[in-house]
Chain A
């Protein structure tokens, strides 16, 4: 069966990623766990990303508050500003912005790392020397990305809310206590839990796309740059697609 042009390439890549995901799952559940390497990757992927994601989260919270303020005042509901901002941060902006920044930083770095290892034939060498490169390189990174993004997202939400608190206090005065009360009077389990669950999928998608792009890097050093680039682009797109799916699923389940 012959499918013309870009369609064939797209389907080919989708299938390859699916197969790669399948082998990742197989390698993850089968014994010999690279725990030390996993923790190291967690440190590199999670902890090292915190400053960047924290900064963007802070700015998002502050800017969103200041942007919403005039509209809220024109509707006469300035007091609901914390509720409004916290709802949009927790439900959407926190997870998605964190995931996008995470994709930019981690997706590209994983793609570049694995790509350069592939083109310098280190992965082949590993395979020969008896270390499973899937286990040592891919499983640790994907798991680390999957588990770290939710935590990063929670921290980012918190920092965003702090930014929002400062944003509210630039023009008017509101105590921390009242701010927290306002935020948690509007937030519900159905706001927090779906948004945290979807960040696991975001992290997994970013990790798996980065690893796939790097793992199957071609064309020498030029290919490394290409795989890093396409890892970022593809994972960002997948983040948005997953976001769309997530909101539809929560809506279907009645938790929206």
Chain B
């Protein structure tokens, strides 16, 4: 009887272990497909679900967040996907989060990725519609790749032609094969080296000159840094200054003089006034001048009479002859 009890205990243990394992496995599966525990529903609308089926995983920033519950066709371009997402993730998903359809690995199942947005937005509610981002599917990627391949093919074709041309070009090969070029290049390099050395020397000299200038040697140095010549220049300038001052004074004196003259003229003082302003005086002056004219005409007559006088006639003749001779010699020349 005791043995029977032991056997029963063993049997009980066996059954219980088996059932517990069953329950554990069912629980683990249930946890995965979010059968137990509270969920919220989210929706997203796509143009193309790329083979997504009910039961596919939903991920939020890569975390397993739930599963696809239902896929409905709304119209010919819109497919609504209903997702069950763990309630515990609700505070982290915001209304502006993006949903897109991705792959688990290259060949794996489709998944819906919910991607958080950087912009602030209120937390999501049950039955909210998420905005979607259609991602390039594999076909499109392959199409792009194929055009890239075509481009590559063209490029490699062109490259091949270029290389062939280079290969066939005798000029380039001649250039490459010409051994004298290296010596020329060598010479040129040497020349460049020399030139550089000269430039270096020149720079040294220039350097020395500037140093000398700084220390006041040479003409330029004296010009730039000698104090004595500076003071000389200063005194010269001050002399010029004085001279101009004197000239200024002179001009002001002249000015005074003309003012005085003007004054005299206006108020009837001096000879200038007599000449320019006084009409009586002017008449006198006119008379005197006509008298002088008359006097000189008389004198001219007298002189003419004198020429014809026998005493002085000879002298005038002689004068005329001299003049004639002079004019003739100038003409012959």
Q: Which residues of A contact B (CB under 8 A)?
A: 39-40, 42-43, 46-47, 50, 77, 150-152, 154-155, 157-158, 180, 184-185, 187-189, 192, 196
CA distance A39 to B22 in the complex (A): 21
Contact status A40-B10, CB under 8 Å: no
Q: Are B29 and A189 in contact (CB under 8 A)?
A: yes
Task: Report whether A187 and B25 are in contact in the complex, using a CB–CB cutoff of 8 Å.
Answer: yes
- CB B316 to nearest CB in A, in angstroms, measures 148
B interface, CB within 8 angstroms of A:
4, 7-8, 10-11, 14-15, 17-19, 21-22, 25-26, 28-33, 35, 55, 107
Contact A158 B21 (CB under 8 A): yes
| Contact in complex: A46, B15 (CB < 8 Å) | yes
Cβ 8 A contact of A40, one of B7, B19, B25: B7
Q: Given A43-B10, A46-B15, decide whether A196 and B22 contact each other with a Cβ distance below 8 A.
A: yes
Q: Are the C-beta atoms of A189 and B33 separated by less than 8 Å?
A: yes
Q: 4 new A-B pairs (CB below 8 Å) besides A42-B11, A187-B29, A189-B26?
A: A47-B11, A47-B14, A180-B28, A184-B31
The distance from the CB of A93 to the nearest CB of chain B, in whole angstroms, is: 16
What's the Cα separation between A155 and B10 when bound, in Å? 15
The A interface is mostly helix, strand or loop, or mixed, namely helix
Closest beta carbon of chain B to A222's beta carbon, Å: 33
A43 CA / B11 CA spacing, docked (Å): 5
Q: Which residues of B contact A47 (CB under 8 A)?
A: 7, 10-11, 14
Give Cα A43–Cα B107 distance, bound, in whole angstroms. 48
Chain A min CB distance to B6 (Å): 10
Please tell me if the beta carbons of A40 and B17 are within 8 angstroms of each other in the complex: no
Whether A192 lies near B14 (C-beta < 8 A) is no
A184 and B11 contact, CB distance less than 8 A: no
Task: Output the nearest chain A residue to B109 by Cβ-Cβ distance.
Answer: A186
Bound together, the chains give a CA A189 to CA B32 distance in angstroms of 10
The 10 closest A-B pairs by CB, nearest first: A151-B18, A184-B28, A43-B11, A43-B7, A47-B14, A154-B18, A154-B22, A154-B21, A47-B11, A158-B21
